[in-house]
Structure 1
Amino acid sequence: MNNTKLRLFTFLFFLIGISNFLQAQCAGENATIEICEKDADSAYRNFDLFAQLGGSPITGGTWATTNPENFYALNQSTGIVDLWRINNYGTHSFVYTNTVCNQSATVTIELGGYPGEDNIDGSANACGDDSSVNLHGFLGSNVDGKVQDFNGLWEEDPATFTGQLNENLFNAREAGPGIYNFTYTVPDVNGCSGRTSTIILEVHPPPNAGTAPVLTFCAGDDLSAYTAFDLSDHLIGEDPNGTWTENGTNQLSDLNDTIINIEEIYNNFGYGDFTFNYTVFPSHPVCEKRVSEVSIRILPILDGTIVTDDICVGESYVVELTYDNTLLHNGDFILQFLVNDDLGESPTTLIDGNGSFVIDQGLVPLNEEVTLEVIGIRSVTPPRDVCPRVIVPPTTFIVTSSDITAQDICIQTDNTIQIIEILDADGNFATGSFSTTYALTTPNGSTTSSPTFELEFTNGNASFIVPASNFTLDGEYTIRPTISGIYATSCPLVDTFTVTPLPDAIQLDLIVDNNCDATQIDVLVDAPILPNGTYTITYDVTELDSNTVLTTNTINFTGGTAAYQIDVDALPIGNYTASVRSIQNDNTPCRLDFEFEESENFSRGGVPEAPQADANQIFCLSNYPGSPTLMDIEVTADGDLLFYDTETDSNILPISTALVDGEDYFVTNSDPLTNCEGTDRVQITVSFSDPNAPTASTVNPQFCAEAIPTLANIAIDVSTGSSVTWFDAATGGSELDASTVLVDNQSYFAATNNNGCTSTNRLEVTPTVITVTPTSLSSDMLQVCGLDNPTIAALRILENETDNDVHWFMTETDGTALTDDALLIQNTTYYAENYNPLTGCSSATRVPVTIDFSDCDPENYGFFIPDGFSPNDDGRNDTFFIPNIETIFPNFTLEILNRYGTSLFKGDINNPAWNGRNGSATAPNGVYFYIINYNKDNAEPIQGRLYLNR
């Protein structure tokens, strides 16, 4: 301990009372010591803390430390501490506590640092794939238990600096292979000097077996391109000095062989996982060997077909699946599929090439063809990967909701059959006509088929009626319609319904002894017994004219037969009605009628008076299409008319019997209330009237359209005393007024009218109405020079006619045609009319033409402007007037100004001459100025001067 300095500081505290003093010293006194280079003496492994206490400590106490790093170095009972196990330089405190005096004392050790031993002989090695090399591992001593402090400072030698040192951890992976120098320093502790150790670390390159992505195929894939697959080509970044091994495929001949045949592997072993290992050994044992795995996965695949029949709504949507079981194992799976574009999943169990799955009904729309496509599969049991690609062609199917409804009915009642949501052959809701028949099975088991009929569908729905004649038996019926041309499904169209028989009805009857002169009426009742109701029966007699009930009686019963007599012998002469009525209140099924009534008219003294009619009646045949009948004979009578061939004949003639010219008929009448027939018959003789048809010299008369011909213009011959009536048809048709305007080539029909009776035969007349089209002119304006005295002949230049003559008029209608030498008159409109000399017809309208008389070249007509005038009222040269200016320049304006620029006169075609006055004053002699605007053909205005000399 020659290098150990002991320093003992003892503090004595004197207390009052000797016992208190002795008790306070049982734990000793605090002491502080300094120990440097603890590693130089192994005695420090059993350092006695109790011996370091000051004062007079008493044994039997316990030792403790607040520093957890010192806990296992201290024996708490003896106070022996192993300083080699304290691996942190600095201050360390240990507290001794004696329970006898309940006092404590502290031993404080200032402990110098130990940096471990230098490691520079090549024994410090690390692998280049180690990202956290612990440098403390290279500082240990060969002496057991001597370990460096851990709270020193690690530093890189600047000569080999990498920046990859973090406290005691060095990232060899980032630094890379090489030799690196490090120092580890523990600093000064009080009087103990700091110390440093050095490490020379060699980082060795790690082996690299490379990486290889999993090579995945699906069973059944074409592997012909992989018969000479080089495993080394599949590795990335590997060292070249490795070896290859395999697991049971016999593809590698030795450790250097890298070529395998994947197609052969599949042919020999089927689908599965096949691995090949590439091993690279390190250049230094500090690094471990590395192995990379090339995994070849040949996944099982679903290769099959799906089939589903068309489905009836309400059934499970089951799809049958068959597949190649050499490509897929047995087990439980989840199938993914698309119904149209909607995704669905379904569990399925596949065994030995067969299976089925169910489609969620919510994915499938009704009554339209949908496409089902399996797009994926997952293996649940056993849990293993399956090729995500499936080889299952899509299929189509349809879920139909077609249905038929037949209602329960009563016997011999029509039954309306409703058919809904029927699809046509293209899978759309049926619209249009479809050939249909139905089979009807009756309660006795017999089946009849209806004739084929056309059934009209709208949006898939239709209805038809099974006639009541098919339901003569009560009981259960079955109907099965067959519709041609619709979408074929296996869904049955069938329904059953019940036909209930009609209950028996009450029978009422009235028997009158003589309807025309009655004395007694029998009322008969035959009523079925009602189990749940009663009949109320009333019979009465009513006077018809006043509707007064004279006799009445009412009875109530549940059924049976009854007979009653009504004595009417005392009734006054007149017409009566006897009635019997029944009302019942039962609820028997198929009871349709609950009220019944029988009535019978009768009379007391009820024979009607004879009818009145003209004995001879004439019928105009044209008034009766076909022929007059008995209904057309005019008769005045009460009641219904009855016609007979003879006065004694008993066979009543039908009222539609056609009359025969010159024939006699006999008529009587009957009371419609009592059917009592009169005793007298009246004779009537009928005769027919039919004037001869009219005639005409020609039935194709010709007219000019401009004359607006009418039917009255057609010459028709009729017999004396007769007139003509026109029609628009050979028979029937409408009567036409004589003022009707004729239409070219339209037929009209004339009939002879004799005293209001027109002939049945009519004369057909088809007139020709000639229409001459208006003339065609090259222009609606003629430009001439009025100074040439132009005539009508000048208008001929405008004519374009070749087939007709053109006549010129001064009026739009009527008037006389103008001759070619007639002078044209200014401000007059002329009219051209076409005239056909072959027919003598003219056009109905005339074409107007206006005349422009100003088409004059001034140079050709000696146009000049006078330079003076003498307004002295001598009748010569009394006005300033420009000859012919109103003709050559009809839109001219003239202005006269004095020498001061004052306007004295403004003229035009309506006021062309200046009389030498300035308003009401006389203009003096002198020079004046004129300004003329020609207002024609862009002619420039002209100005000049003139001399006024009176």
Structure 2
Amino acid sequence: MVKNYYKFLHIILFFAFFSILPSKIYGQCAGQDNIFTVCDIHDTSSQTINLFALLGGTPQLGGVWTDDDKSGGLNLNTGNLNAQVIRRSGVYHYTYTVTSGGCTDNSATIEVTVGGYSGIGSRATVCSSQLYFNLFQAFSGVDPPPQINGHWHNDTTNENLPDSSFYIKGLQGNYYFTYTMDAIGSCPAQSSQIIVSVSRAPEAGEAGDLTLCGDNDLTPYTNFDLFSLISGQDPGGFWRDDSGTGEIVGIADHNIDIQKIYTSYGAQTYNFTYVVPSPNPTVCPVDEETVQIILQKKLDFTGATVEVTSDICETEIPTATYFLTINKNTAVIPDGTYLVSYNVSGPRGGTRIDRVAFVNGVLRFQMNSSYFQQVGTFRVTILNIYGLGIQACQNIIGDLHDDLIISPNPDLQGARIDPVTTCQNKDVLVTISNALKLADGDYDIVYNIRGANSSTARVARITSVGGVSSFVIPGNLLAVSGTSVVTITAITHVSSQCVSSALLQGNILINPLPNTTALRIQIPDDCFGKTFTASVTGLGSLTDVTLSYTLSGSNTSTVQTIVLPVTNGNASFTIPSSLLLNTGSTTINVTNLKNNITTCDVNVSGISDPFLLNPIPAAPLASNQVFCKAEDKTIANLEPIGAQYKWYISAVATTPLAANYVLKSENYFIRETSSAGCTSEPAMILVTINDIPAPILNSDGPNFCGLDNPTILDLVNRTNSRSSVVWYDAEVNGNLLPPSTPLIDKRTYYGFDFSSNTGCFSDENTAVTVSLTDCDSPDYPFFIPDGFSPNGDGVNDSFVIPDIDFLYPDYTIEIFNRYGNGMYKGKKDKPAWDGMNYEAKGVGSGIAPNGVYFYIINFNKDNKPPKQGRLYLNR
């Protein structure tokens, strides 16, 4: 009924609202304001209230909602209101805004009254061990939960509560409460009742502690009742051994043997807990109370150390602070707060007790400075160290002490610095003498350098003995030659760190170092075993130097020194052969250059020169060699062959034989020269030159009858070496002629003999010019052709009388035409007529025409008369 009533009321309000609107309505983009009431918060309809639908007029879509009162219930994206998440009843405003133009009103507001909601009655059970119970916890699990701006009433005691807190300590039983949300607007008030059931908690009582010294007699505590350390407890509980001593045997056991505990487990704190079970364990937990049995052990500080910091100088007395530190080292001292009793010696000494904490075995605290007000040694002695509270044991302190020293400041009054000469960039030893007011010991001094060199606030350590000490100024502070002044400005005693100002000066003369800017060293590459000379340049104006160097690479050496006279900035020296025992690349490295006049030297780096000790080739492998004399072999033909080999006529010769030197039967010596120009020892070979005599021609000589068609074989048979002679058509580079080669008249042939033993031809030859004319026998007729056809077909193209030259070597022939005109003249060297006109003037442009021609042969031998005849020319 209530729900329907509110719906009806909303309809009436809706029509009443529109009835009072003016008759003329202007454009309102956001719609019109409206009011709305939500009373039934528990209803699901209150979860989604569409505020846009509640706007009057014709609002435009796309506007923006704002939660003006920050109720937390509005979804700004959808415009839906969830009243169930609003935790307080009240009146809330929500504004809808549209930004488009042309509107008289761009925003409209919905006023929502949210009625009170007291939740649904419930019940809670709690334990009296709690001090307070928040009554809202009784609504745990209720959805939605009640709003929070109502008020509570204790129905059991009939009193209003200022808030939701219920004090329950010591209570037991059921208690009734009413929660009321007041009426608001048209929404009535609401109330809900809860019941809180309080269960009594168990009580374990109040515990006390027991502190004992374990090193004392614990016999009275061998059957100690734990109940003697607790009071006000509920009966029916039991004891629990939290420290695992094994002394609690059963649930009813409450007696322990403390002597046994100490013997077994030593000094520490042991916990035993009295546990009282809960009569309502689902509501109240058990109650526990723990007692402590504190067993102490005598603290033995034997081996601990004490230190007073720090020693100071007399000038620090007015401002110094002093700390005392005790380090337990191997002593077993638990962390905690202790009281330290100590004594300070001296004219203002005394005894004092301070409260200090041991942390990780270290105790540190500040002492009163009034004890330490003058130069001297002050002893601080620890008298006792003990913990706070009950002290069951007397601790062992032993001899714990430390001395604080207040030292006087050092004094250099009356001291002097002796003049010193050094070299540029070299460390220099500076001596301080006559420092009679300076006690023996170690000191740190601060000094400055000015003059040719400048440096400030440099520190060095000196050891003073009888007023004399010294220190070294590093060479890098003396980089400029000339005179510099060193000034000591402060001195600090090392052990006490006491410092005094000073003004002690001395002169340092700095000679220049040799200038190595242009220094160079060079050693040419050469062959192993040769003399290697180093050339040194760039020595400038130096005249007498000592050069130090090392060798690295194939040959190594320690530092070598050599004194060098210098001329015009140059010097040279020879590397000892004893240092050059290996071939390969060796580098000479200059390490130091010393001016012998000033004794100043400079270490050198980066000045070096690699040089090669080229290996000497081994003597070449060569064997004896045999040649034929006819081959005309030269040095170039000897093996091995190559540009690296040179041949000599003797083992000591230095000039090699020319490549065209003709070999003889004799000894030759070969040396190999490497690409680096290194020559080996010689190797000897024997060269043998073989030869045989030229063939001898028989007495019948070179004359043959041509009609016999003689060949090379006929010529071979006319020598004394028929089985080995060979013939060539030239004396040099000729062709070997087979035995069947026909001999040619007036041709010269060259015969060489050949030895099958040596494989050599004779160097000399027999030259034979063959004559094919000796044909006196009547058995040799000759034929005279009666015609020819010079047409160029290769057949019978010339007129030739065969073999006439063998029979009549001095013959001549003439040919005439029918008119008696001479056409041709021939002889042995011009035996053939080719049909051309060679003699007659103006006939046929030199071409003999077809026809009959006449010849005359003059034999010119044995008075044989000429012979006439005719021949026919047909082309």
Q: TM-score, normalised to structure 1's length?
A: 0.34
Q: TM-score, normalised to structure 2's length?
A: 0.36
